């Protein structure tokens, strides 16, 4: 993560995020036109994404997991204690106990959802047909995986 995000200049980070966003959009919708690429670039440039905040939370989660596992090992925990402790780690991973990070993550998620909606609203009927076929393939893959159970 450090080499992927923290070592980048802000210009490099914007370019990398734009490239990834464009790649994902084109995976779903097919080729994006110039106006759609401009829209995606604007969204990336306006994003609240902060790799340092993400890294800080990642390190908090790692420390929480290690502390929980060490405590379970030290206390010779029962199966019920272990389930409860692991459930707690998972809950704290999904919903940070840090209010500032929770607010940040919610704001970024909201911004990302608005961005996806804006890109979708900019697509042509042909691009939406491509997306429907892509989603149908995704659904089929999930059904095949579920059938293997």
- Whole-number Å distance between alpha carbons of 6 and 37: 25
pLDDT digits (tens, 9 = 90+) for 52-82: 999 999 999 999 999 999 999 998 889 999 9
Report the candidate in 25, 12, 17, 23 with the shortest Cα–Cα distance to residue 46. Answer: 17
Cβ neighbors of 57 (< 8 A, separation 6 or more) are 96, 98, 101, 105
Binned at pLDDT 50, 70 and 90, residue 43 comes out as very high
Residue 102 has pLDDT above 90, yes or no: yes
Q: Which of 4-13, 22-31, 105-114 has the lowest mean pLDDT?
A: 4-13
pLDDT at 130: 98
Q: State the average pLDDT over residues 108-131.
A: 98
Residue 40 has pLDDT above 90, yes or no: yes
Whole-number average pLDDT of the chain: 96
- Whole-number Å distance between alpha carbons of 23 and 10: 20
């Amino acid at each position: 993560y450090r080499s992927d995000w923290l070592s980048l200049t802000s210009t490099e980070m914007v370019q990398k995020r734009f490239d990834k966003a464009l790649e994902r959009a084109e995976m779903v919708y097919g080729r994006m036109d110039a106006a759609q690429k401009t829209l995606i670039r604007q969204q990336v440039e306006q994003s609240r994404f902060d790799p340092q905040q993400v890294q800080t939370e990642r390190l908090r989660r790692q420390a929480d997991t290690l502390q929980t596992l060490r405590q379970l090992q030290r206390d010779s925990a029962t199966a019920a204690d272990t389930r409860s402790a692991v459930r707690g780690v998972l809950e704290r991973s999904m919903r940070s106990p840090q209010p500032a990070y929770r607010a940040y993550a919610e704001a970024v998620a909201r911004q990302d959802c608005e961005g996806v909606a804006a890109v979708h609203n900019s697509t042509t009927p042909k691009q939406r047909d491509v997306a429907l076929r892509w989603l149908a393939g995704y659904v089929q893959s999930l059904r095949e995986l579920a059938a293997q159970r």
